[in-house]
Amino acid sequence: MMKKVMYVCLMVAMMPFVSCDDDDDKASDHPIVGVWEEISQIENEYTNGVLERTNNYPLDEGDIAEIEFKSDNTYEEYFSSQIEGSTEIIEETFYATYEIEDNKIIYDYDDKDGLAENTFVLEGDILVLTWLNPYEDGKFVEEFITTYRRK
């Protein structure tokens, strides 16, 4: 009986040092947290698994494409572009929450149904995100590879 009482007392004494908080699920310590500016984007088009075409999409001078992974697992995409031949500027911002699982980022956008997912490679201040966009027929797939630099 005395051993049980001592065990219970020990467990109660340890409670302040044990957390039930869900901070372990937060990205606050992950090196991906921060603001990233796009430096290049490549699109590969595959038909039946065979690479058919590669397109390179450089940003036009003055265009801005940034993403931010925040420590509270929220995400923001910002795009700003001047319409060719005009002084008009188009700006778009998208918001999501995200989770990181191994080398995948899973996004839950506020205004869209379902989840989006990409893979990532992070080396120092360079982040490469790869998105796959398969068509319903399963024969045609677009692969977008976007490279960012930490801002």
Give the 3-state DSSP-derived string for the chain, with helices as H, strands as E and coil as C: CHHHHHHHHHHHHHHHHCCCCCHHHCCCCCCCCEEEEEEEEEEEEEECCEEEEEEECCCCCCCEEEEEECCCCEEEEEEEEECCCCCCEEEEEEEEEEEEECCEEEEEECCCCCCEEEEEEEECCEEEEEEEEECCCCCEEEEEEEEEEEC
Residues 88-125 have pLDDT tens digits of: 899 999 999 999 999 999 999 987 778 999 999 999 99
| Domain-located, residue 18 | no
Q: 8 in a domain, yes or no?
A: no
Within a domain: 106: yes
Which domain does 60 fall in, by range?
27-150
pLDDT at 26: 52
Query: What's the predicted TM-score (pTM) here?
Result: 0.77
Domain count across the chain? 1
Asked whether residue 22 is domain-assigned, the answer is no
Average pLDDT over residues 125-151: 93
Q: Is residue 89 part of a domain?
A: yes
Instruction: Convert the pLDDT of each residue in 1-49 to its tens digit.
Output: 433 333 333 333 433 333 344 444 455 689 999 999 999 999 999 999 8
* CATH assignment of the domain containing 124: 2.40.128.280
Report yes or no on 21 lying in a domain.
no
